[in-house]
Structure 1
Amino acid sequence: MTLKFLYIADPMCSWCYGFSLELQRFLADMPDAELDIVLGGLRAYNTQKMDADQRDMILSHWEKVQQVSGLPFDMTGLNKPDFIYDTEPACRAVVAAKMLTQDMPTIINFAVFQAIQHAFYAEAKDITKEAVLAEIAVKALNEYEQSEIFDQESFLETLCSAECKDETRQHFQQIQQWGVRGFPVLLLVREDGLHMLSSGYVKAEILIENLREISVV
């Protein structure tokens, strides 16, 4: 039986970035598993420019995540003039990837999700820019497929479409209806409903243990 998971997260959530490697390790022994990503909208539609206090607060979170996860961070990413921490475009890029890969294994979208995270946290790229997101996503998609079937122009067209924007908004509304207030969240999908595997950052070993406990019930 194919295992199905629901991953609730935001590419610009630092704890989701920290958790990404643990989730990757967890899924490594389950190549046929399905992972459906629901985008959280951590700071979606934010229009306020980042000030020094907000920057310091966010960087303190990044430092904690770096200490716990060991993942690379480029702390200069928040120093861009007039930077607005709007997570909607990054979430929408994952939705666009989902729209373009409906006939492909769902894990491909996690590869796009991780690529966007890495670009933001480790490479200090401005992933609030649609052109930047299209470049990152297309590279990740083509690397996963080991081909050149995706191109930036087509991806950007999907990313900027009204359909994609509406679909992304529906993701955010779903999260609100579920009452999810923090990310990341990983759920096991079974016929009898959704089962919580983790809420917040946990190690892969804990995920494996939680899955085992749920599976014997």
Structure 2
Amino acid sequence: MKIVYVFDAYCGWSHGFSPTLRDVISRHPELDVEVVSGGLFTGSRRVPIRAFGYVQGANAKIADLTGAEFGEAYDRLIADGSFVMDSKAAARGVAALRRVAPARAAEPATALQRAFYVDGLSLSDPAAYRKVAEESGLDADAVVAAFEAPEAAEAAEADFRRAAGLGVTGFPTLLAADGDGYSPLAHGSATTAEVEQRLSSLGAR
């Protein structure tokens, strides 16, 4: 059995789910973890954030329900409404971190969300990946080089296809993979206890 986490680095609900994900992974070191970028803001949805009038209200709801932090630097970044969330760039960054630290894919992915939602860094900016790499004890030059390499764009597109192939339509989605089957563990929001109960019903210890 392994865990498949389908998320988007620009998704506020994924940011709110990060503590649960970290808790579950820490409780189950025996389970492999696959992290897949879902591609929330691509194509016609790659527009200035002012086009999504619900963002601040949604963030307040996420913070209330999950305790997620939305920092002052993030508020400043989006204040004039011109910032564009580009999920392909974010997915390239996830792929770069995954390439440099394949055994730690979930940890840097959640750190990326903090870089955006707390530190107010654009996930199109190599500086965001340098910061996350340094704070995660990774080779920052290698991560930035991987982010800028053509292979990162290919990996991002592969992630989007993988998410679609899994039938995921919303983020975050946490799945348990056992053989060729997938069982839902969480969608949108869930506590560690809820995920643990679902894992236990599938035979995980």
Structures share fold, TM-score greater than 0.5: yes
Which structure is larger by alpha-carbon Rg, 1 or 2?
Answer: 1
Q: Does 1:151 align with 2:105?
A: no
State the alpha-carbon separation in 1 of the partners of residues 189 and 81 from structure 2.
31
**Distance of 2:32 and 2:62 partners within structure 1:** 27
In terms of mean alpha carbon deviation, does 131-140 or 7-16 score higher? 131-140
What is the CA–CA distance in structure 2 between the aligned matches of 1:132 and 1:140, rounded to whole Å?
Answer: 12
Could you tell me which runs of 5 or more consecutive residues in structure 2 were left unpaired when the two chains were aligned.
none
* Backbone CA RMSD of aligned residues: 2.0
1:47 to partner: Cα distance: 4.4
User: Does residue 59 of the first structure (1) align with residue 56 of the second (2)?
Assistant: yes
* Local SS of the residue matching 1:35: strand
C-alpha separation in 2, matches of 1:24 and 1:155 = 22
Q: Could you say which residue in structure 2 is the equivalent of 1:145?
A: none
Shift of 1:64: 0.6
The alpha-carbon deviation at position 170 of structure 1 amounts to 1.1
Aligned mates of 1:85, 1:208 — CA distance in 2: 32
Give distance in 1, aligned partners of 2:119 and 2:101: 26
Residue number among 188, 212, 216 corresponding to 2:200 in the alignment: 212
Per-residue CA deviation, residues 131-187 of structure 1 (Å, 9 max, x unaligned), is: 223213312431xxxxxx6133x3222111111101111111222233311011111
Q: Which residue of 1 aligns with 2:109?
A: 113
Q: Does the Cα contact within 8 Å between 1:111 and 1:140 map onto a contact in 2?
A: no
The percent of aligned pairs where both chains have the same amino acid is 21
* Structure 1 outlier segments of 4+, above 4 Å: none
SS in 1 for 2:174: strand
Gaps of 5+ in 1: 143-148
CA distance in 1, matches of 2:124, 2:147: 12
Q: Output aligned runs, 1:1-217, within 5 Å.
A: 3-45=1-43, 46-51=45-50, 54=52, 56-74=53-71, 75-79=75-79, 82-102=82-102, 105=103, 108-129=104-125, 131-142=126-137, 150-152=139-141, 154-215=142-203
- TM-score, scaled relative to structure 2: 0.88
- The secondary structure found in structure 1 opposite 2:3 is strand
TM-score (norm 1): 0.83
